[in-house]
Structure 1
Amino acid sequence: AAAAARAELASAKAELDVVRRQVADATDEAESVRAQLASAKADAQAARNEVSRATESATLLQQQLDRESELRSTDRDEADAELAALREQLAAQRAELEQAQDELAEARLQLGLAEKDRAGDAADLREQLRVCEARAQDAEARAA
Protein backbone atom coordinates (compact mmCIF):
# COMPACT_ATOMS: atom_id res chain seq x y z
CA ALA A 1 0.00 0.00 0.00
CA ALA A 2 2.88 2.32 0.75
CA ALA A 3 4.37 1.54 -2.65
CA ALA A 4 1.07 2.34 -4.31
CA ALA A 5 0.87 5.60 -2.36
CA ARG A 6 4.42 6.48 -3.39
CA ALA A 7 3.65 5.69 -7.00
CA GLU A 8 0.53 7.86 -6.78
CA LEU A 9 2.59 10.62 -5.13
CA ALA A 10 5.23 10.40 -7.87
CA SER A 11 2.50 10.52 -10.49
CA ALA A 12 0.89 13.54 -8.78
CA LYS A 13 4.31 15.27 -8.60
CA ALA A 14 4.91 14.59 -12.29
CA GLU A 15 1.44 15.92 -13.07
CA LEU A 16 2.15 18.96 -10.88
CA ASP A 17 5.42 19.58 -12.78
CA VAL A 18 3.53 19.40 -16.08
CA VAL A 19 0.92 21.86 -14.77
CA ARG A 20 3.68 24.17 -13.46
CA ARG A 21 5.38 24.12 -16.90
CA GLN A 22 2.03 24.87 -18.53
CA VAL A 23 1.46 27.76 -16.07
CA ALA A 24 5.00 29.06 -16.75
CA ASP A 25 4.43 28.77 -20.50
CA ALA A 26 1.06 30.52 -20.18
CA THR A 27 2.68 33.24 -18.04
CA ASP A 28 5.45 33.70 -20.62
CA GLU A 29 2.85 33.82 -23.39
CA ALA A 30 0.79 36.35 -21.41
CA GLU A 31 3.90 38.51 -20.91
CA SER A 32 4.63 38.29 -24.63
CA VAL A 33 1.03 39.29 -25.42
CA ARG A 34 1.27 42.18 -22.92
CA ALA A 35 4.52 43.35 -24.59
CA GLN A 36 2.89 43.11 -28.03
CA LEU A 37 -0.14 45.01 -26.72
CA ALA A 38 2.09 47.74 -25.26
CA SER A 39 3.96 47.95 -28.58
CA ALA A 40 0.65 48.11 -30.48
CA LYS A 41 -0.57 50.85 -28.11
CA ALA A 42 2.65 52.81 -28.68
CA ASP A 43 2.29 52.35 -32.45
CA ALA A 44 -1.35 53.48 -32.27
CA GLN A 45 -0.38 56.56 -30.25
CA ALA A 46 2.39 57.37 -32.75
CA ALA A 47 -0.14 56.98 -35.57
CA ARG A 48 -2.63 59.25 -33.75
CA ASN A 49 0.13 61.82 -33.25
CA GLU A 50 1.04 61.61 -36.95
CA VAL A 51 -2.63 62.00 -37.94
CA SER A 52 -2.91 64.98 -35.60
CA ARG A 53 0.20 66.60 -37.12
CA ALA A 54 -1.05 65.89 -40.65
CA THR A 55 -4.47 67.34 -39.79
CA GLU A 56 -2.87 70.43 -38.29
CA SER A 57 -0.62 70.80 -41.33
CA ALA A 58 -3.60 70.39 -43.67
CA THR A 59 -5.55 72.99 -41.68
CA LEU A 60 -2.67 75.46 -41.88
CA LEU A 61 -2.28 74.79 -45.60
CA GLN A 62 -6.02 75.32 -46.15
CA GLN A 63 -5.87 78.59 -44.21
CA GLN A 64 -2.92 79.72 -46.33
CA LEU A 65 -4.76 78.77 -49.52
CA ASP A 66 -7.84 80.66 -48.30
CA ARG A 67 -5.73 83.75 -47.55
CA GLU A 68 -4.03 83.56 -50.96
CA SER A 69 -7.39 83.15 -52.66
CA GLU A 70 -8.75 86.13 -50.73
CA LEU A 71 -5.69 88.19 -51.67
CA ARG A 72 -6.07 87.21 -55.32
CA SER A 73 -9.73 88.13 -55.16
CA THR A 74 -8.89 91.46 -53.49
CA ASP A 75 -6.13 92.10 -56.05
CA ARG A 76 -8.55 91.26 -58.86
CA ASP A 77 -11.20 93.57 -57.39
CA GLU A 78 -8.65 96.37 -57.04
CA ALA A 79 -7.39 95.79 -60.59
CA ASP A 80 -10.97 95.82 -61.90
CA ALA A 81 -11.67 99.08 -60.06
CA GLU A 82 -8.45 100.62 -61.36
CA LEU A 83 -9.28 99.47 -64.90
CA ALA A 84 -12.78 100.97 -64.62
CA ALA A 85 -11.28 104.27 -63.41
CA LEU A 86 -8.80 104.27 -66.31
CA ARG A 87 -11.62 103.57 -68.77
CA GLU A 88 -13.59 106.48 -67.32
CA GLN A 89 -10.54 108.74 -67.66
CA LEU A 90 -10.06 107.57 -71.24
CA ALA A 91 -13.72 108.27 -72.06
CA ALA A 92 -13.42 111.74 -70.50
CA GLN A 93 -10.24 112.43 -72.47
CA ARG A 94 -11.91 111.25 -75.68
CA ALA A 95 -14.83 113.58 -75.00
CA GLU A 96 -12.38 116.44 -74.38
CA LEU A 97 -10.56 115.56 -77.60
CA GLU A 98 -13.81 115.55 -79.59
CA GLN A 99 -14.77 118.91 -78.07
CA ALA A 100 -11.32 120.33 -78.88
CA GLN A 101 -11.59 119.01 -82.45
CA ASP A 102 -15.04 120.61 -82.80
CA GLU A 103 -13.68 123.90 -81.45
CA LEU A 104 -10.71 123.68 -83.84
CA ALA A 105 -13.03 123.07 -86.80
CA GLU A 106 -15.17 126.04 -85.73
CA ALA A 107 -12.05 128.22 -85.36
CA ARG A 108 -10.84 127.15 -88.81
CA LEU A 109 -14.25 127.97 -90.27
CA GLN A 110 -14.24 131.38 -88.62
CA LEU A 111 -10.65 131.97 -89.76
CA GLY A 112 -11.63 131.09 -93.33
CA LEU A 113 -14.59 133.47 -93.15
CA ALA A 114 -12.39 136.19 -91.67
CA GLU A 115 -9.85 135.69 -94.45
CA LYS A 116 -12.63 135.94 -97.03
CA ASP A 117 -13.91 139.10 -95.35
CA ARG A 118 -10.40 140.58 -95.35
CA ALA A 119 -9.92 139.57 -98.96
CA GLY A 120 -13.26 141.21 -99.76
CA ASP A 121 -12.32 144.30 -97.71
CA ALA A 122 -8.95 144.48 -99.50
CA ALA A 123 -10.68 144.23 -102.86
CA ASP A 124 -13.11 146.97 -101.81
CA LEU A 125 -10.21 149.12 -100.63
CA ARG A 126 -8.33 148.55 -103.90
CA GLU A 127 -11.47 149.48 -105.79
CA GLN A 128 -11.85 152.62 -103.67
CA LEU A 129 -8.17 153.43 -104.23
CA ARG A 130 -8.58 152.99 -107.99
CA VAL A 131 -11.67 155.22 -107.96
CA CYS A 132 -9.81 157.85 -105.90
CA GLU A 133 -6.80 157.70 -108.22
CA ALA A 134 -9.07 158.04 -111.23
CA ARG A 135 -10.75 161.10 -109.66
CA ALA A 136 -7.38 162.55 -108.82
CA GLN A 137 -6.23 162.08 -112.42
CA ASP A 138 -9.48 163.62 -113.66
CA ALA A 139 -8.99 166.53 -111.28
CA GLU A 140 -5.38 166.98 -112.43
CA ALA A 141 -6.45 166.84 -116.05
CA ARG A 142 -9.11 169.48 -115.48
CA ALA A 143 -6.70 171.61 -113.56
CA ALA A 144 -4.18 171.48 -116.37
Structure 2
Amino acid sequence: MSIPQELYYTKDHEWLRKEGDEVVIGITRFAADQLGDVVFVELPQVEDTLQMGGTFGVVESVKAASDLFSPITGQVIATNPDLAEAPELVNEDPYGKGWMLRLKPEDPAQMDALLTAQAYTAWLETCSSFAVRFGQNLTL
Protein backbone atom coordinates (compact mmCIF):
# COMPACT_ATOMS: atom_id res chain seq x y z
CA MET A 1 0.00 0.00 0.00
CA SER A 2 1.42 3.35 -1.03
CA ILE A 3 1.31 6.09 1.62
CA PRO A 4 1.67 9.58 0.07
CA GLN A 5 4.64 11.25 1.75
CA GLU A 6 3.38 14.84 1.48
CA LEU A 7 0.25 14.28 3.57
CA TYR A 8 -0.44 14.37 7.30
CA TYR A 9 -2.39 11.54 8.97
CA THR A 10 -4.42 10.66 12.04
CA LYS A 11 -4.61 7.39 13.94
CA ASP A 12 -8.27 7.34 12.88
CA HIS A 13 -7.09 7.06 9.24
CA GLU A 14 -7.95 10.51 7.96
CA TRP A 15 -5.43 12.41 5.85
CA LEU A 16 -4.82 16.13 5.45
CA ARG A 17 -3.10 17.99 2.62
CA LYS A 18 -2.04 21.61 3.03
CA GLU A 19 -2.89 23.80 0.03
CA GLY A 20 -1.93 27.41 0.68
CA ASP A 21 -3.90 28.63 3.69
CA GLU A 22 -6.46 25.81 3.31
CA VAL A 23 -6.38 22.08 3.91
CA VAL A 24 -8.06 19.20 2.10
CA ILE A 25 -9.22 16.20 4.14
CA GLY A 26 -10.18 12.64 3.26
CA ILE A 27 -9.75 9.07 4.46
CA THR A 28 -6.75 6.88 3.76
CA ARG A 29 -6.48 3.96 1.37
CA PHE A 30 -6.25 1.70 4.43
CA ALA A 31 -9.57 3.02 5.76
CA ALA A 32 -11.24 2.74 2.37
CA ASP A 33 -10.00 -0.84 1.95
CA GLN A 34 -11.18 -1.81 5.43
CA LEU A 35 -14.62 -0.33 4.83
CA GLY A 36 -15.14 -2.09 1.52
CA ASP A 37 -17.39 -0.59 -1.15
CA VAL A 38 -18.46 2.87 0.01
CA VAL A 39 -22.13 3.52 -0.77
CA PHE A 40 -22.83 6.81 1.05
CA VAL A 41 -20.89 9.73 2.51
CA GLU A 42 -22.46 12.27 4.88
CA LEU A 43 -20.48 15.50 5.12
CA PRO A 44 -20.93 18.76 7.05
CA GLN A 45 -22.35 21.97 5.61
CA VAL A 46 -20.15 24.69 4.18
CA GLU A 47 -19.39 27.25 6.92
CA ASP A 48 -19.72 24.64 9.70
CA THR A 49 -16.93 24.86 12.25
CA LEU A 50 -15.19 21.57 13.03
CA GLN A 51 -13.23 20.81 16.17
CA MET A 52 -9.99 18.84 16.16
CA GLY A 53 -10.91 15.24 16.93
CA GLY A 54 -14.64 15.92 16.59
CA THR A 55 -16.85 14.05 14.17
CA PHE A 56 -17.64 15.72 10.87
CA GLY A 57 -19.61 13.06 9.08
CA VAL A 58 -20.16 9.39 8.34
CA VAL A 59 -18.99 7.07 5.62
CA GLU A 60 -21.15 4.01 4.96
CA SER A 61 -20.14 0.91 3.08
CA VAL A 62 -21.59 -2.49 2.36
CA LYS A 63 -19.74 -3.72 5.49
CA ALA A 64 -20.00 -0.91 8.04
CA ALA A 65 -20.66 2.72 8.88
CA SER A 66 -17.85 4.76 10.38
CA ASP A 67 -17.64 8.25 11.85
CA LEU A 68 -15.23 10.71 10.28
CA PHE A 69 -13.01 12.78 12.58
CA SER A 70 -11.55 16.20 11.88
CA PRO A 71 -7.74 16.27 12.04
CA ILE A 72 -7.77 19.98 13.00
CA THR A 73 -10.12 22.79 14.01
CA GLY A 74 -11.44 25.04 11.28
CA GLN A 75 -14.31 26.20 9.10
CA VAL A 76 -15.59 24.10 6.20
CA ILE A 77 -15.21 26.05 2.98
CA ALA A 78 -16.14 23.27 0.54
CA THR A 79 -17.25 19.66 0.39
CA ASN A 80 -16.73 17.28 -2.50
CA PRO A 81 -19.96 17.49 -4.53
CA ASP A 82 -19.05 14.39 -6.55
CA LEU A 83 -19.38 12.08 -3.53
CA ALA A 84 -23.18 12.48 -3.44
CA GLU A 85 -23.53 10.78 -6.83
CA ALA A 86 -20.33 8.73 -6.80
CA PRO A 87 -19.34 7.70 -3.25
CA GLU A 88 -17.20 4.95 -4.76
CA LEU A 89 -14.60 7.64 -5.52
CA VAL A 90 -13.52 7.19 -1.89
CA ASN A 91 -12.44 3.64 -2.77
CA GLU A 92 -11.16 4.37 -6.25
CA ASP A 93 -9.06 7.45 -5.50
CA PRO A 94 -9.02 8.29 -1.76
CA TYR A 95 -6.16 10.80 -2.06
CA GLY A 96 -7.48 12.49 -5.20
CA LYS A 97 -11.04 12.50 -6.51
CA GLY A 98 -12.28 10.92 -3.25
CA TRP A 99 -11.38 13.96 -1.10
CA MET A 100 -14.11 14.92 1.35
CA LEU A 101 -13.79 18.51 2.45
CA ARG A 102 -11.77 21.68 2.31
CA LEU A 103 -11.16 23.52 5.57
CA LYS A 104 -9.83 26.93 6.61
CA PRO A 105 -7.72 26.05 9.68
CA GLU A 106 -8.25 28.05 12.85
CA ASP A 107 -4.75 27.18 14.10
CA PRO A 108 -2.42 25.69 11.48
CA ALA A 109 0.00 24.74 14.28
CA GLN A 110 -2.41 21.89 15.13
CA MET A 111 -0.96 20.09 12.12
CA ASP A 112 2.18 19.55 14.21
CA ALA A 113 0.20 17.00 16.26
CA LEU A 114 -0.59 14.89 13.19
CA LEU A 115 1.39 11.91 11.94
CA THR A 116 3.90 12.09 9.12
CA ALA A 117 3.71 9.41 6.43
CA GLN A 118 6.53 7.54 8.18
CA ALA A 119 4.77 7.67 11.56
CA TYR A 120 1.46 6.63 9.96
CA THR A 121 3.15 3.66 8.28
CA ALA A 122 4.54 2.60 11.66
CA TRP A 123 1.05 3.00 13.18
CA LEU A 124 -0.42 0.74 10.48
CA GLU A 125 2.24 -1.88 11.20
CA THR A 126 1.32 -1.75 14.89
CA CYS A 127 -2.37 -2.15 14.05
CA SER A 128 -1.62 -5.07 11.74
CA SER A 129 0.61 -6.78 14.31
CA PHE A 130 -2.11 -6.45 16.95
CA ALA A 131 -4.73 -7.87 14.61
CA VAL A 132 -2.58 -10.86 13.67
CA ARG A 133 -1.59 -11.53 17.27
CA PHE A 134 -5.16 -11.49 18.54
CA GLY A 135 -6.87 -12.91 15.46
CA GLN A 136 -8.87 -9.75 14.79
CA ASN A 137 -10.19 -8.47 11.51
CA LEU A 138 -9.08 -4.89 11.00
CA THR A 139 -12.17 -2.76 10.65
CA LEU A 140 -12.90 0.84 11.49
Q: TM-score, normalised by structure 2?
A: 0.15
More strand by share: 2
Q: TM-score, normalised by structure 1?
A: 0.15
Higher-RCO chain (CA-CA 8 Å, sequence separation at least 6): 2
More helix by share: 1
